[in-house]
Amino acid sequence: MEINEEEKFGVFLKRFLNNVIEIQEFYNLSKQLFTNKEIDKQYEWEVINGNIGKGDDYRKVKKTADINEVKKICIEIGSNLIITKPNGQYYIRSPPHLKKNRDYISIKNKADEIESKGRITRWKSYILKP
């Protein structure tokens, strides 16, 4: 069975597009890994189970955003606390200069209190260490 020129071109195009998709996925993964290393080098985050600072939604970020993008935004606005739950949007709490009890020590005390109660929650709190 002979393949005509259109079919040959179709096969070529399909292979080419698959390669482009693979290259794009590799690029995105490499970029994300590099970004993770950059953020982790400069800043250390602690993750606890619990919702610290309920009702203080200084800034909301869509759930489709990458956690590293949210961390960058958090650092840029001077905050040190991000709250999220699985498949939910991110909530960045108020920076310490705008609201009391948002400094690291106050947040850490609240986190220890939540963890000592042992309540099971789907919420995760990301705390920026000084």
Nearest 10 degrees: Cα torsion 105, 92, 49, 40: -80
Q: Measure CA 116 to chain center.
A: 26
* Maximum Cα–Cα distance across the chain: 77
Cα–Cα dist 78/122, whole Å: 26
| Domain spans, the chain | 1-42, 44-130
Cα torsion angle, 91, 75, 96, 101, sign: positive
Give the pLDDT of the chain (130 residues) as one tens digit per residue: 567 888 878 888 888 888 778 777 766 766 666 555 555 557 889 998 888 888 888 999 999 998 889 999 999 999 999 999 888 999 999 999 899 889 999 999 998 888 888 877 889 999 998 8
pTM, two decimal places: 0.66
